[in-house]
Amino acid sequence: MENDSPRAHLKTLRRTARLLIGGLVGAAFLVLAFRKVDPEQLLRVLRAADARLILLALGIGSANLLLRAARWRVLLSASGHVPFGLAFWVMTIGYLGNSLLPMRAGDLGRSYLIGRRTGMGGTFALATTVAERVLDAGFLVVVGGLSLLAHPLIPAWLARGLILLAVISGLGLGGLLALPWLWEPFVGKLERVPRLAPVVHRLRERWLDRFVEGVASMRDARRMTWFLGLTCALWLVDALAVILVARALGTVLSIPAALVLLAALGASSTVPITPGQIGVFQWVASSVLGSYGAAPEPAVLISIALHAANYLVLLGWGSGGVFQFGSAEVLRVMASTREPRDPLDASPPHVMSE
């Protein structure tokens, strides 16, 4: 107990240092994004903006969330029926958590929350969330790479970022697909070691086997067909929102250019550098738009508008999700509260119905 206070103090110092460093890095990227911007021209572009198109883009952002909830529900259905409303509200809470908390903590939170509410267990749900993220990254690499074929000037940093994302997603996808086949032989060998057998058996019983079952949801052909179809739809919807925001600020973008922008933003968010990606998001977006011939002023405004629109959509729907579930429960989940016997698989207090 005597060490609790120094340990907590050290943890607070580390968290403060990370936030400070992240803030400084974000400020540096903002300077890079704004370095060629003429303030007077920036105001002229802003005054001429079409607010109706931006509002339409916000509505499309909401449609994107609906598609994402439907897609996650496809993977969750491997464990049984999940009401669409439940999947939607939990997902919006998780996405809101990702935008406010470090290291995508919202994904862990939404997995734990839906595991409690449905009885499938947070470990199974977490496996579907991991699979969703890995498949998303792979899709962005393929689509972004194909779209870049028509790009006259490929920024070197973007090419390297997509290569890194391709390696990460390829290794992740290969590992997830191989896991269900390799799992039983691997743990079988471990269970034959007397010292390890009790620990391995306990871990399997509590959460490891359920995680592998969640990963195995990717092996169903019908389920994956639905998943990939919804993935195509949601990224096309996202590209349409980008095109509308750009048009609202006087810039015409093609669908391939919008997909390249989304792929670049996806690659930049693989490793969270700054709080909420502030600074990094603006620099990446304005750099990509500049490579397509956009002037610095509309490019920066488009990056700010896209970032703000994303936050507004998540804040609106995520707040609705918090209201649905109760702020106390959501705060406990997002603070990574754990059950004493099992970190992820907890019996549900009740099951929501449609």
Per domain, the residue ranges of the chain are 32-332
Distance CA 211, CA 221 (A): 19
pLDDT of residue 351: 35
Beta-carbon contacts of residue 74 (< 8 Å; ≥ 6 apart): 223, 226, 227, 230
Report CA torsion sign: 64, 168, 106, 306.
negative
Predicted confidence (pLDDT) per residue in 177-225, tens digit: 787 787 778 877 777 777 777 777 777 776 777 788 888 778 788 988 9
**pLDDT surpasses 70 at 344:** no
Distance CA 214, CA 124 (A): 5
Q: Is the pLDDT of residue 55 over 80?
A: yes
Query: Who wins on pLDDT, 114 or 13?
Result: 114
User: Whole-number mean pLDDT of the chain?
Assistant: 82
Q: Taking 50 as the threshold, does the pLDDT of residue 320 lie above it?
A: yes
Range with lowest mean pLDDT among 22-36, 91-105, 238-252: 91-105
| Residue 60 near residue 237, CB atoms below 8 Å | yes
Q: Averaged over 60-79, what is the pLDDT?
A: 92
The per-residue pLDDT for range 20-38, each reduced to its tens digit, is: 887 888 888 889 889 989 9
* In the block, residue with structure tokens 């810039």: 251
User: Quick one: pLDDT at residue 258?
Assistant: 92
Distance of CA 128 to the CA centre of its chain: 13
Residue 152's pLDDT is 62
Which helix (H) or strand (E) covers residue 102, if one does? Answer: none
Segment 148-175 mean pLDDT: 75
- Identity of residue 174: G
Percent of the chain with pLDDT over 70: 87
211 and 127 in contact (C-beta within 8 Å)? Answer: yes
**Residue 339 has what DSSP assignment?**
-
Contacts of 127 (CB under 8 A, 6+ apart): 210, 211, 212, 213, 214, 215, 217
Residue 342 has pLDDT above 50, yes or no: no
Contact of 321 with 90, CB cutoff 8 Å = yes
Q: Is the dihedral of CA 134, 238, 34, 163 positive or negative?
A: positive
Res 4: pLDDT:
55
